[in-house]
Structure 1
Amino acid sequence: MANVPWHEEVVTFVKLLCDRLPQYDVACEHEHSNCLLLANKKFCIDGKWYTWIDYERFHELVTRHKVTSGAETFTSVDYMAITPDWAVVGSNERGFDPTDTRWYRKATAKKNLSGC
C-alpha cells in the first residue's frame, strides 16, 4: 500500500486535470474505492449531475433503433438519470450509499504465524 495515494491526493490530481479539460468537471466520488468521475459538463443541468443510466429507457431506445432499422437514433442525453446526492463530489457521504451498511475495522487482524 506504500504506492497507493490517499484519496485527497487523488482529488487534488483530478482537479488539476480538470483545469486542463475545460469541457469536463468532477462529478462523483467514491472515497472507499479512491475513485472520482470526470464527466462532460453536458451532463450537469441546472447545477445537478446526470451521470447515472436509466437502463429501462436505454433498452427502449435500443429496441426502437433496431425496429426502425436505425432510422431512430439517440444519444447518451436521452437515457441519462440524475446522480444521487450521496454520490456527487463533495457530499458528506463521499460516495457511500446511505442505505448500505458501512463496516469499520477495529484493528488489524493478528497473523497466524504457527504454520498450522
Structure 2
Amino acid sequence: MNFKYLLASLLFTIGQLSMAQNYNGKVLDGQNNSPLPEAHVTAQNGKATYTDADGNFQLSIPEKGTTVAISYMGYKTIQQFISPSDTVNQFLMEEEPFEVNGVMVTGNAKIIPYLPQ
C-alpha cells in the first residue's frame, strides 16, 4: 500500500519537473554594468533564489513563462515577464537612494549593568 503512494508521488514529481525550464539571468548595476551579488530574485510561481558574486542566477520556471521580481537594497525593484530561453538575459537595475531620518538608541539601566543608575 505504501509503495503505491511512493510511486504516485514520484510520477507527480517527474511530471512537474518535466514541465519546468531553467532560466539563466544576470543582474547588473545600470550605470556601470558591475554585477550585483546577493540580489533577490522571486518568481510568481513561488520559486526564489539569490544572485552569485558575479550577478548570475538560475531559476526553474514553467514553460509558459512567469513574472519575476528582482530586488536589491538601494535599487528600484524590477518586475518583468520572462519565458524560457537558451541565452543569459541581463537585468539592469537603477539606483533608488533612500534617506534614513534618524535612529534612537535606548537602554534599560536595570538590565544593563554598565549604565549609571
TM-score computed with the length of structure 1 as normaliser:
0.25
Normalised TM-score (structure 2) = 0.25
